[in-house]
């Protein structure tokens, strides 16, 4: 099976590099001077709200969208190369299988444009179908497959071309939640097996957190922050990143030397160079309900929402609405109208510039 991923090693050791990439549609700048490096074999997720430019950036990398700037693989400049010469695999939400062709014919379609003999075509198709666990289904038509199986045919169609990079644009977006989680697991396992570089566009935050080695959070055509999922989640570079990724309480505060004043109390916190008015990020899962004691504030429970493994509480604290998430581990859950004590520890607080 190693043949599927072998071109990565042939292409160079520098990986994929995007330099000052800009895409304009008339007076609108959809991608604004993006620079991003992706190491060989890495999974990088492009995330952000609709219209932030992530899909346009992916299409520009693929060569489907004219752009200014450079796209390199290793030390090879691909900026002026045609789509087919870039050797980048593409997989979209709409997998667009040929209804009149069987699975093997769909997977083999792209090889018609390469100088590949019939015996090699059969071997490579068999390898690709084995990788995506569809061996034995070669003669089925798309309408005889489930949605997840069709998605895997589309993936095999990309892998059979032995791409240097696999570019995935919302590939699981049309699937139901349970099937999407299943295919996320399969994509991670497949990635470890073949070692191809993945650049993955998704609006699903959980998918980005669980799938990627690093994330690039985009906003109005620019990259706001690049880092590992834990870095971006725990140490967001801006209020925008904090608010986009996961549940977030963004609370106005005042920073002093080594502490912040918020919600009627002072909390020890790393404030860096920030002094005066600021914004504090409180992740809901770090807002702890306690029995009282030093450093607590009193809150009124405004709403309670059961969410399976956890319960989401909406709390009124010093005139500010704060979300808290508590695990459902058998303990009683306060009801709307109840008074509770909330502890805001230093580990709950991240200070952001206003």
Phi, psi angles (nearest 5°) of residue 196:
-75, 145
Q: How far apart are CA 24 and CA 12, in angstroms?
A: 30
Identify whether 245 is part of a domain.
no
- DSSP characters over 229-271: HHHHHHS-SSHHHHHHSS--EEEEEEEETTEEEETTEEEE---
Q: What range does the domain containing 276 cover?
A: 250-353
The SS3 call for residue 342 is strand
| pLDDT 10s digits, 146-188 | 888 888 898 888 888 888 898 999 877 766 777 777 778 877 8
Task: Answer yes or no: is pLDDT of 2 > 50.
Answer: no
Q: How far apart are CA 297 and CA 320, in angstroms?
A: 12
Domain boundary among 234, 265, 280: 234
CATH number of the domain to which 254 belongs? 2.40.50.100
User: Residue 269 has what pLDDT?
Assistant: 87
Q: Quote the number of domains for the chain.
A: 2
Task: Answer yes or no: is pLDDT of 12 > 60.
Answer: no
User: Residue 253 has what pLDDT?
Assistant: 93
| pLDDT 10s digits, 250-295 | 999 999 988 999 998 888 888 888 999 999 999 999 999 988 777 7
Alpha helices for the chain (secondary structure H) = 7-11, 54-62, 83-86, 103-108, 118-131, 147-159, 177-194, 205-211, 229-234, 239-244
79/185 same-domain check: yes
257/293 same-domain check: yes
Identify whether 240 is part of a domain.
no
Contacts of 298 (CB under 8 A, 6+ apart): 317, 339, 340, 341, 342
37/87 same-domain check: yes
Identify whether 239 is part of a domain.
no
Instruction: Provide mean pLDDT across the span 97-108.
Output: 92
User: Residue 271 has what pLDDT?
Assistant: 86
Contacts of 189 (CB under 8 A, 6+ apart): none
Q: How far apart are CA 6 and CA 100, in angstroms?
A: 31
User: Residue 354 has what pLDDT?
Assistant: 63
Instruction: Provide mean pLDDT across the span 198-205.
Output: 89
Domain boundary among 183, 200, 234: 234
214/275 same-domain check: no
CATH number of the domain to which 114 belongs? 3.40.50.300
Q: How far apart are CA 76 and CA 96, in angstroms?
A: 31
Task: Answer yes or no: is pLDDT of 11 > 70.
Answer: no
144/101 same-domain check: yes
Domain boundary among 171, 206, 234: 234
| pLDDT 10s digits, 109-147 | 988 878 888 899 999 999 889 888 888 899 999 999 988
Ramachandran area for residue 266 (φ above 0: left; ψ -120 to 50: alpha; else beta): beta
Looking at per-residue pLDDT, the higher value among 84 and 293 belongs to 84
Instruction: Provide mean pLDDT across the span 6-15.
Output: 45
């Amino acid at each position: 099976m190693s043949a599927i991923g072998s071109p990565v090693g042939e292409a160079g050791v520098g990986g994929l590099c995007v330099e000052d990439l800009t895409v304009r549609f008339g007076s609108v700048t959809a991608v604004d001077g993006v620079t991003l490096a992706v190491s060989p074999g890495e999974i990088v997720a492009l995330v952000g709200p609709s219209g932030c430019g992530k899909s346009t950036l992916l299409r520009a990398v693929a060569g489907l969208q004219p752009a200014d700037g450079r796209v390199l693989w290793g030390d090879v400049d691909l900026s002026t190369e045609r789509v087919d010469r870039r050797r980048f695999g593409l997989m979209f939400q709409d997998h667009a299988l040929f209804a009149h062709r069987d699975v093997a014919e769909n997977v083999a379609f792209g090889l018609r444009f390469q100088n590949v003999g019939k015996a090699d075509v059969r071997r490579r198709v068999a390898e690709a179908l084995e990788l995506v666990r569809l061996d034995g289904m070669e003669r089925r038509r798309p309408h005889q497959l489930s949605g997840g199986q069709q998605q895997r045919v589309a993936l095999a169609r990309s892998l059979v071309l032995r791409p240097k990079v696999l570019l995935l644009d919302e590939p699981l977006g049309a699937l139901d939640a349970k099937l999407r989680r299943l295919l996320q697991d399969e994509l991670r396992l497949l990635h470890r097996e073949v070692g191809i570089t993945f650049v993955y566009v998704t609006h699903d935050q959980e998918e980005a957190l669980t799938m990627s080695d690093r994330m690039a959070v985009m906003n109005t055509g620019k990259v706001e922050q690049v880092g590992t999922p834990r870095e971006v989640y725990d140490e967001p570079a801006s209020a925008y990143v904090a608010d986009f990724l996961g549940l977030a309480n963004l609370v106005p505060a005042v920073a002093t030397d080594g502490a912040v004043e918020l919600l009627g109390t002072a909390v020890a916190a790393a404030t860096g160079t920030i002094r005066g008015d600021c914004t504090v990020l409180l992740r809901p899962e770090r807002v702890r309900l306690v029995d009282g004691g030093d450093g607590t504030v009193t809150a009124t429970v405004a709403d309670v929402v059961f969410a399976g493994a956890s319960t989401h509480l909406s709390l009124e604290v010093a005139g500010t609405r704060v979300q808290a998430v508590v695990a459902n581990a058998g303990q009683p859950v306060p009801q709307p109208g109840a008074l509770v004590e909330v502890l805001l520890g230093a580990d709950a607080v991240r200070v952001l510039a206003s």
